[in-house]
Structure 1
Amino acid sequence: MSNLPRQQPKDAVLCEVAEACGLSTPDAAVDIAQLAAAVSGKRLLLVLDNAEHVIDAVARIVDALVATSEILRVMVTSREPLRLMQETVYRVEPLDVPPSHSTHAEIVQFPAVKLFLLRVNSIQRYAYAGCEEIHLIGEICRRLDGIPLAIELAATRVAGLGIGGVHRYLHDRFSLLTGGYRTALPRHQTLRATFDWSFFILNPCHQLLFRRLAVFSGGFTFDAMCAVMCDEKYAVADAIGGIGDLVAKSLVNIELEGPVSRYRLSDSARAYALEKLHAQGEQRLIAARHARYASHCLRPCLADSVAEQLDLEIDFRQSLDDARSAFDWAFSRHGDTRIGVELAAGLTEALLDAGLIHECRTRAEQAIDALEELPPASVDSDTENARTCHSRLGIDLCSGARVKVGTIVDGTAGSCWR
């Protein structure tokens, strides 16, 4: 077994593999042919750990070794495949987590929860009080995406913060989830170090895509990604290569149900990408693009068949979630109120159609109050192709006793959301 060095030359990687195979290399003068001859005919299991940082060198070495020995078996752990013809890829998935509607008895049966309780009990004798804490543990495991390292790090904080404290501070997970085993590798000591390890092996173009994907709070399609990400400096061809690399490195999850692939960032990956987006000063630009795209997607369309209607319902739910996320950003401290007001017309209409009256009323009131504070015509788009539409919104504020009516101007461009 060899724990491969980080960012080492090909010759250094070859020496590491040779030593793992029991080949003495006193002068570091070994080539692949010598190593292949040394292992030929031997029944060996060669384990190469953490190959992602030296993936090209490892791929060439493994390809040469298995070509000369039919009984040699090689197991490689890596964030991405070697992409060899003889390779069989086994993805190590996160632990299963309980759905939000699970009962107390169901929650404790899920592997993620079992790991959390096991680690808590290994640190201190812990007796949970009952249903409420078990449901909090289930929520912790869900928000940590079933990632074993994150769950173990969260469990270590229970001794000082309690279950409720860990749950409460998950919004700052990278500060919370530290303090791994002293004997663990540095990248396994904190959640941030784990993501740093994966992020820094991306090339700059793929790093750009990863951090920009943080604006999607849920699933997204390739077309949605291109609409928000691509510009004169980042072409569709870049996006094709980038999303493939991020999926291969398990930084982005892919769902292959139906004819259109959907992608999703885990909560932890999105939190990390948001930090990078903010650090690069791109958050306002990309969030504004996303908000305008979300507004565009809320426009109603007609289905020609039942199957198409089901697809539209799925798209509508995702578009509604995107619009909510964009609206929340627009009215946040770092947001753009003007964009939020532009988005409100489509969002409130969609919420009304979905029967979400209370949410519709709350968001419409927020947008109308903001509109009253803006200078006249400030929400009109400065895009030449933009169109202006007016939506009259009635807000039931006091059980129908009083109605406040406002005018929201939607200056969203028809096809220009950048």
Structure 2
Amino acid sequence: MQLYPLSWRVALSFLAVVTIAILAGAWFVLFPTPQFPAPIGPLGIGTRVYSWIDSSRAEPFTPNAGDHRAITVQIWFPTAAEGKVQRYIEQPAVLAAVAARLHIPPFLLGRLQSAPTHAIRNAPPKAGRYPVLINPTGFSGFHAANLFWIEALVSHGYVVVTVDQPGTAAAATLEDGRVLASADKTMFDRYMPLALSSSRDQTPVMNGVSLPGGIIPFLAADMSFVLDRLAVPDAIDDELAAILDLDRVGIFGMSLGGYIGPEACRTDRRFKACVAVDAGKTATTADTGLAQPLMIISRDADVMREERSKAGGWAEEEIEHTISSQRRLYENNAGDAYFVTMNGMYHVNWTDAPIWTPLVGWLGLAGPIDPYDGFSVTNTCTLSFFDRYLRGALSANICPERDPNVTRLEVRQARHP
């Protein structure tokens, strides 16, 4: 058979097809559909979304004096139903914010947007009375950014309420329908405990709204507002209200959520137990401790410096503040206290981000631990802690102490049992 040279048009067409194939293959590799870990408990998961207005408080993250605090929550609860699953990200504004954090165009994250969770949208709840866990998101996060954590807890019989807070969530909807992106980080940091520690003004003002103690006490007040609304009969559906055991309430969160949780526990005794992950603390909370049981999960300063060398962030003063305030809270806690050190983890390992795209690991944003191993240990520690203090499961071991991914497990008994 004789082969003839390709014409230039055919050659260019062939090259275009090859290029498209290569790019398509790269897209599948770099931006696959995330495979969220299967829930480890026996119960199915349902979910519903609610929006509430706190007319008693002004909104500090907008310049409009007439704006009030608008809180969106997603409630995840046990169900026995089957049906249409909840997609991971449904708001385009959230997808755009996630893409901006990764410095990529949003269309590349199409599979992230459409990825199926294990939750059934608007499912009927399974009859029973379940402890309630509040979960404030991290800065620029969204209400499903810790799906590995949420679904594991719900599958074991907890109701989890994830909270989008205006100014800190990736995209929060205000009462008039406007979508508010998270605040500029440099501006936001001026109201955080680290900045206040070197400032004479302990009551800064943001857009005319006074913030005694900075932004963390204000954000912690959102958690109390959420508890208030859960107790109001017409705030949620009657069948969902019937399964909430508001005498057994805990709170858990990482990053900014790890700041907010202990602060909420200090100011509101309705919270009975607290898990705080990889975050500093306000001076008042660190120095007085909590009356409630506490679990801190974090890593050593050298691991934070290692993360900084690979991916940036974690200024030395921030590392010192985070480590020292965590340690002070642990030492000063009046309730039982646990300090779990996981040195294979970087900050984003306590979110779903390591399974969004392999770029997260390649760029040094995730630690050396296998992401699913990190999820598993975090879930085991959190579940055993809440089982002990919200369900009275005193025989439960707190954390897999001999797990190779747990560097240290420290325990302090309550000062006043």
Fold in common (TM above 0.5)? no
Query: Which has the larger strand fraction?
Result: 2
Which structure: greater helix fraction?
Answer: 1
TM-score by length of 2: 0.28
